[in-house]
Amino acid sequence: MILLVASQKDIASLNIKQQILRHYPFNKTTETFQQNPIYTGFINAKKSLL
């Protein structure tokens, strides 16, 4: 499993998150972590969380 984390306090990490969501097949789940959405996807046959 691959885990990617973006900080709400870091503009650069938020921009990277948006680019990853735009270019890779992630789906928003119904789950949240500390009131933030969780996205899942498969990249190179590995489950990934963002």
List pLDDT tens digits, range 28-42: 989 998 898 988 887
DSSP, collapsed to helix, strand or coil, labels residue 31 as: strand
Q: Which helix (H) or strand (E) holds 19?
A: helix 11-23
User: Which residue type, as a one-letter code, is found at position 47?
Assistant: K
Q: What is the mean pLDDT of the chain?
A: 85
The fraction of the chain above a pLDDT of 90, given in percent, is 26
pTM, two decimals, is 0.69
Residue 26's CB is within 10 A of a number of other CB atoms, namely 20
